[in-house]
Amino acid sequence: MKVYLVRHTSVDVAPGTCYGQTDVPLRASFQEEAEACKKALQDTGMRFSRIYTSPLSRCTHLAAYCGFPEAERDERLKEMNMGEWEMQRFEEITDPRIQEWYDDYLRVRTTGGESFMDVLARVSDFFDHLDRTSGPALVFAHGGVLVAAQVYAGKVKLEDAMKALPPYGGMVEVDLPLPRLHPLMLAGTGSDVGKSVLAAALCRIFLQDGYHPAPFKAQNMALNSYATPEGLEIGRAQAVQAEAAGVPCHTDMNPLLLKPTSDQTAQVVLSGKPIGNRSAYEYFRTEGREELRREVNQAFDRLSARYNPVVMEGAGSISEINLKDTDLVNLPMARHAHADVILVADIDRGGVFASAYGSVALQTPEDRKRIKGIIVNKFRGDLRLFESGVKMMEEICGIPVLGVIPYYHDIYIEEEDSVELSLKQRKVVQGKVNVAVVLLRHLSNFTDFNMLEHDERVNLYYTNNVDDLMKADIILLPGSKSTIDDLYELRRNGVAQAILQARRNGATVMGICGGYQMMGQRIADPDGVEGSISQMPGLGLLPTETAIEGEKVTRQVRFAFLSSEEPTCTGYEIHMGRTSAVEGETLTPLVRLENGETDGCVADRKCAGSYIHGILDNPEVIEWLLAPYAEKLDQPQLDYAAFKEEQYNKLADHVRKHLNMPLLYQILTQND
């Protein structure tokens, strides 16, 4: 289907003015320019079945002049939001971030506004939901929208986007749709083979290539979770993959989440809401599985109707044949989705031939046919040394090897599991702010500390060693899936006493979620939500007390930090407890939420806590935390949003370089 897009005529603003979504006036030459647009549309000879326009007057006026006063107005067709820079002369903008935007306007957002990737995401959403069943469509919009449309349609590469900017009154033509790709499942020969990261890479690659991808994992097991815009809970990996795909995360991307509470039990989260704790035996027995299967299948169906393609992720190994009857996430899910399966094998752990061959051989004949390719992941050394290995693997498995992906050390993607935390433990470094994250047994949402970890001014390490804690400038108490149990362990192993002594010696102590609860006077669990311990004394650092409750709070939040007036910071809450002031005390809140509520507590400049995950992703909070150690701050502040975008693109470049993308596209479009 053809879509014609017309840019509005010249606007009456001073040269060099930054404008985007401001409703600016048109020049006196409007009629002459509009007449030329009208003639160009007539010359196409097209009878447009659907006409759309940006709601801004410079587009609606042109649509009306060309004979379409009833054109459907769509917010997604607005120009880029320039935020705080709107209607300022570029040369007069003093915001230091403008140079970052000049350097990478594609991914760096204007202050309070959008990046080009944001514009591309909403324009992609417009086209994905455009009715393509009859006739050509006509769109009146802005330069940025016309450029995004050409990127979406594959006419120009993302990095060359602005070279395709048409003049005022100019018109571009794009052909839709791109091929509808089959769903793709990344299945594994085992756990931790790199499925999640490869899924994020493919989400970004498909986005770069003009598609509108989304991630999906039917069932995930992880302590780290994330709150969707609707205030529901999904696995952190799918939130990261959605970010790489440039789309909002949704519970349909991870309809079933298991959050371990012990070695034998886990909290079951269905469609973003907890439905209770289950033992492994209870969960994996046959009874009730079909109901869960229907839920995850329906979630996939909804996702597949909205996105192209769906990048699916399996769980663990596909060769656990003892679990096949109750499997919801691997080959049975691929069968429901009619997905092409790519097997991911980890060569770094050894035995790659046996694991790949065995994984294929243990499948039924039907499922073996569904496995269309193999990716050998985490290769170390000279790739030429494995060229013969590729041929051998293809011969023994009868399946093409799509690529051998080298191990990398310079790309940082948020992890979901804490399996590598022990490897991150480092000692004190002179000349930097030393930040110790207390290594809890049930630590959750360690992604709260990613921004600090990559800040050049900071040396962040995870530890439960009392000597290392005593040497830290800042001690961070993280979230916990079992707060009382972890607090008991801190008292037993001497870490609690070390934290209190470090605090007396002048260290900063800050707690997040479960860590915030631990910092109070006491934690009560009268209903046994976490276990058999009904009450535990806290660390006594804050004048608070917490009651653990069965109802989980899950929501995304915007907030003003300390004395700030505007709620410019963001984060999310996931907790099962209410914290309040102890009798006779008054709390000084750390933040004020957009809805007027308050959160957290500040005892003094170096002692505070909050329920908000992601609070340390906000530069304003980071600068407040580090300010007492100004003598060590000789590096520039980290723009974490831009940093993450850079990492997604580096990951995509790395994987694209070593993956046979033409063959993958062939697999995803050909009919069996």
pLDDT band for position 248 (cuts 50, 70, 90): very high
Q: Pick 501 or 632 by higher pLDDT.
A: 501
**Whole-angstrom distance, CA of residue 397 vs CA of residue 374:** 9
Could you give the 3-state DSSP secondary structure of residue 141? strand
**Whole-angstrom distance, CA of residue 549 vs CA of residue 70:** 53
The residues with which 269 forms a beta bridge, in sequence order, are 257, 274
418 pLDDT above the threshold of 60: no
Question: Once rounded to an integer, what is the mean pLDDT over residues 10-16?
Answer: 96
**Whole-angstrom distance, CA of residue 503 vs CA of residue 516:** 15
250 pLDDT above the threshold of 60: yes
**Whole-angstrom distance, CA of residue 464 vs CA of residue 461:** 10
The answer regarding whether domain 184-253+289-407+650-669 maps to CATH 3.40.50.20 reads no
Cβ neighbours for 541, distance < 8 A, ≥ 6 positions apart: 500, 503, 509, 519, 520, 603, 607
Could you give the 3-state DSSP secondary structure of residue 532? coil
Q: Is the peptide bond before 526 cis (omega within 30 degrees of 0)?
A: no
**Whole-angstrom distance, CA of residue 103 vs CA of residue 380:** 33
The percentage of the chain sitting over the pLDDT mark of 70, rounded to a whole number, equals: 96
Question: SS3 for 418-436, per residue?
Answer: HHHHHHHCCCCCCCCEEEE
**Whole-angstrom distance, CA of residue 612 vs CA of residue 616:** 9
**Predicted confidence (pLDDT) per residue in 400-409, tens digit:** 999 999 998 8
Q: Pick 130 or 184 by higher pLDDT.
A: 184
Q: What angle do CA 99, 623, 481 make, to 5 degrees?
A: 115
Instruction: Give the DSSP H or E segment for 44.
Output: helix 30-44
Task: Give the pair of three-digit tokens for residue 519.
Answer: 């910092």
At 89, the amino acid letter reads R
The answer regarding whether domain 2-175 maps to CATH 3.30.365.10 reads no
Q: Pick 485 or 289 by higher pLDDT.
A: 485
Predicted pLDDT of residue 113:
96
**Residues with active-site annotation:** 513, 613
Which residue's structure tokens are 């003093």? 94
**Which of 77, 50, 213, 75 lies closest to 138 in space, CA to CA?**
50
Predicted pLDDT of residue 104:
92
* Residue 50 contacts residue 138 (beta carbons within 8 Å): yes
Q: Is the peptide bond before 96 cis (omega within 30 degrees of 0)?
A: no
**Whole-angstrom distance, CA of residue 183 vs CA of residue 668:** 7
Q: Distances in Å between the alpha carbon of 657 and those of 108, 204, 390, 403?
A: 24, 14, 17, 9
The DSSP call for residue 339 is P
* Residue 226 contacts residue 218 (beta carbons within 8 Å): no
Alpha helix (H) residue ranges in 523-569: none
Question: Once rounded to an integer, what is the mean pLDDT over residues 434-440?
Answer: 94
Question: Once rounded to an integer, what is the mean pLDDT over residues 51-57?
Answer: 98
**Predicted confidence (pLDDT) per residue in 365-410, tens digit:** 999 999 999 999 999 989 998 999 999 999 999 999 999 999 988 8
27 pLDDT above the threshold of 60: yes
**Whole-angstrom distance, CA of residue 600 vs CA of residue 76:** 36
**Whole-angstrom distance, CA of residue 404 vs CA of residue 427:** 35
**Predicted confidence (pLDDT) per residue in 276-286, tens digit:** 888 777 777 76
Burial of 16 (0-12, 13-18, 19+ CB in 10 A): exposed
Indicate yes or no: pTM above 0.85.
Answer: no
**Which of 400, 324, 411 lies closest to 363 in space, CA to CA?**
324
Count Cβ atoms below 10 Å from residue 84 Cβ, excluding itself. Answer: 13
pLDDT band for position 424 (cuts 50, 70, 90): low
Predicted pLDDT of residue 329:
92
Cβ burial 112-151 (10 Å sphere, 16+ → b, else e): ebbbbbbbbbbbbbbbbebeeeeebbbbbbbbbbbbbbbb
Q: Pick 111 or 552 by higher pLDDT.
A: 111
**Whole-angstrom distance, CA of residue 113 vs CA of residue 328:** 41
**Predicted confidence (pLDDT) per residue in 515-550, tens digit:** 999 999 999 999 888 888 889 999 999 999 999 988
Task: Give the pair of three-digit tokens for residue 67.
Answer: 């004979």
* Residue 386 contacts residue 379 (beta carbons within 8 Å): yes
Task: Give the pair of three-digit tokens for residue 216.
Answer: 């999906």
What is the maximal distance between C-alpha atoms in the chain?
A: 82
In sign, the C-alpha dihedral spanning 532, 261, 477, 489 is positive
**Predicted confidence (pLDDT) per residue in 635-671, tens digit:** 777 788 888 999 999 999 999 999 999 899 999 988 7
Helices H / strands E in the chain, number of each = 21, 33
**Which of 296, 293, 288 lies closest to 218 in space, CA to CA?**
296
Alpha helix (H) residue ranges in 494-618: 495-504, 514-518
**Which of 7, 374, 414 lies closest to 173 in space, CA to CA?**
7
**Whole-angstrom distance, CA of residue 471 vs CA of residue 427:** 9
Could you give the 3-state DSSP secondary structure of residue 503? helix
**Whole-angstrom distance, CA of residue 487 vs CA of residue 320:** 36
**Which of 191, 186, 148 lies closest to 419 in space, CA to CA?**
191
**Which of 441, 460, 463, 465 lies closest to 449 in space, CA to CA?**
460
Domains in the chain: boundaries = 2-175, 184-253+289-407+650-669, 418-638
**Whole-angstrom distance, CA of residue 225 vs CA of residue 266:** 14
Predicted pLDDT of residue 135:
58
For helices 640-658 and 195-208, what crossing angle results, to 10°?
90
Question: Once rounded to an integer, what is the mean pLDDT over residues 180-195?
Answer: 93
pLDDT band for position 133 (cuts 50, 70, 90): very low
Q: In CATH, what number does 418-638 get?
A: 3.40.50.880
- For all residues of the chain together, what is the average pLDDT? 91
The percentage of the chain sitting over the pLDDT mark of 90, rounded to a whole number, equals: 72
Cβ neighbours for 433, distance < 8 A, ≥ 6 positions apart: 457, 458, 459, 473, 474, 626, 629, 632, 633
2-175 matches 184-253+289-407+650-669 in fold? yes
348 pLDDT above the threshold of 60: yes
Question: Once rounded to an integer, what is the mean pLDDT over residues 44-50?
Answer: 83
Predicted pLDDT of residue 132:
60
Cβ neighbours for 211, distance < 8 A, ≥ 6 positions apart: 178, 181, 308, 309
Predicted pLDDT of residue 423:
54
Measured in whole angstroms, the distance separating CA 255 from the mean position of its chain's CA atoms is 16
